[in-house]
Structure 1
Amino acid sequence: MPPSPYIGRFAPTPSGFLHFGSLVAALASWLDARAVGGRWLLRMEDIDPPREAPGARDAILQTLERYALTWDGEVVHQSQRHEAYADVVERLFRQGLAYACTCSRKQLEDYNGIYPGFCRDAGHSRDGAAIRVRVPELSYRFDDRVQGPFEQHLGREVGDFVIQRRDGLYAYQLAVVLDDGWQGVTDIVRGADLLDNTPRQLYLQELLGLSQPRYLHIPLIIQPDGHKLGKSYRSPPLEPDQATPLLLRALRALGQAVDPSLIGATPAEVLEAARQQWRPEAIARQMTLPEADLR
C-alpha cells in the first residue's frame, strides 16, 4: 500500500511543559495521521523567546518520546526560519498589502481586539513599528471536522492584523501559514482555542497562493471548576512514568473506545491499538472531564 499523501503536524510552543490538554491534541493529531498511513511532523514554534520556559524545548521532545508519539524527519524550529518570514513581510509591504503601525496598546484598548485602521493610510516608516496586513471586507468560512461550519468577517470582526511585531518578532499568524505551506501540511489537528484564528490564516493562504489544509479543532478541556485546562491554570506537566494511564485517559477524552486489557500495555501498544480503531467522528464538540481524569 503506497503512503498516504496526508501530512499532519504537532507544533508546540516552548512557553511551558506539555500538560494533559497538550497530550489530547498531540494524540489526536498523531492518530489522525497514522490511521491513514500519513506522515506526522514536529515543529517547535519558538518565535517568542521572552515567553520561553527554560528547558521546555528538550522536555517536550523527551515527553513525546516517552509517550511513543514518534515523528517523521527532523524537528523544525521556527527560530531558524526568520529569513523566510522576512522575505514575505518585505514583499507584502512593497506591494502595499501591508503597512507600518505605530499604535500603542493603550490606543487600542477600547476596541475589543478589532483594529480600527488608524495607521492604514498614514504611510509610517517601518522603523520601530509593527507591520499589519490589510484585510478585505469579506467573510472567510471553512468546515471544521469537529466544530462544523465556522465563519468570520475579517473587516468587522478582526481588522488589519499584525504579521510582525514592533520588537521585530514575527507573529504566529504569518509563521504558521508559511511553515504549514512550506512543509506541505494537508491536515491540521489542534485545539479549539485557535478556531477563530483560522479565517486570518485562510486569508494569508489565499494572499500567498498556498493550499488550504483541512482542519479539525479539538475542544478545550473544561475542568470541574469551569476553568480551561492549560499552561496558565493548574495544569501539571505530564509525568514520564504515567504514559500508559494518561494515554488511555486522553483516548477516553477523545471519545475513543478503550480496551481494558490495555491498562498494562506499553505506550507503543496503546497507540497501535488506538491507531487501528481511530474514529475522529466520535470526538465531541465540547469536553468536560471529571477530576480523576486530570491527574
Structure 2
Amino acid sequence: MIIGLDVGFGRTKIITEKEKLSFPTWVAKHTPSADEEVETISLFGENYVIGQDAKYERNLIEISDIKEYIKYLPLFLKFIQKKFLEESERLFIITGLPPRHKEHAAGVEEIIKETGAAGKVIPQGMGIFFDTKEKVEGTEDILIIDIGYNTLDYIMLVRDRTKAVGYRKRKSNTIENFGINRAVYEFRNQMEDGYIKDLPLTKLNEIFIKGQGRVFAEKIDFTKQRQRAITAYAEMLTGRLKTEVGDFINSVETIVIAGGGARFITGEHIGRPDAIIPEEPEFSQARGYYKFGLITGEKE
C-alpha cells in the first residue's frame, strides 16, 4: 500500500488510494480515566494519544519544530501501521521535509524502516509539483509556494531536460513562523480586549478558520476581522517573497500556491491572479507524495 504522509507543523495529512485523513499535529501522554473510548499508541514506555483527542489531555504538545517532529514521528508511523497494515502486507510511505531541514532526510527514512515499512523522503514542495504536474509540466520555470500553519516554504524550479522530472531546483527556503499563523496573530489584533482575544492560539485558530465563534451562548461573526487579517498577512507575505526571490514572483511563468494557507491566500493577493491553486490545497503535498509513489513504480 502506498501512503502519502505530510506531517505538518499544524496539521497532519494522509492520502491512500481509498481515503484521506487530516488531524492536528498534536500529541499528549494519556492519563486513563474510569470509562473512556480513546485509541492510544505506545512509545518510550508510555501511552500517547495523537490528533484531536490530545487536546483532552493535560499535557498537549503541538509539533512545531524539527526536533519535536523527529522525536514524535514514530507515533504517527505507528498510527499508520495500526490503521492500514491489516489491509496490506507492505506499506510504502512517502513523505517530505522542509527545504531547510533536508539534512534529516536519511534519518527520517531510517525511522520509517524501523517500523517495518519502506520509505522515501523527497523535498517538501516537490509533493505539490507532482500533484500539479499535469498543469505545470512544460512551462519554463515554476515557483511553488507552500503556506503551512507555522512555516512558509517555497521552491523555485527551472526547466532542465537532463533531469528525470524535467526540472532542477534553482532555489528554495523555509521561513519559520511565517505561515498562516501570522494571519491568526493579526486576527487577534483585530479583537477588542476580552474573552476572544485572551483565548489560546489553538482555539483562536479554529475561530479564524470558521470565521465565527461563540462568546458564551452567543454566536458571533468574525469574517470582517478575518478578511482584514488576511489582507495584512498577504502584504507581509508578498514583501517577504520579494526579499527572497526578487522580481521572480512577477516574471516566473507559473506560480502554484498550496498548503492550508491557500484556502485564504489566492493569486490576487500576491499580484498573480493566474496562480494555480490545487483542489483541496491543504492535501496537495500528501497527494503529491502518493502520486510520486505511483510514478516510481513501487508496488504493494
Query: TM-score, normalization: structure 2?
Result: 0.31
- Structure whose residues are more often strand by fraction: 2
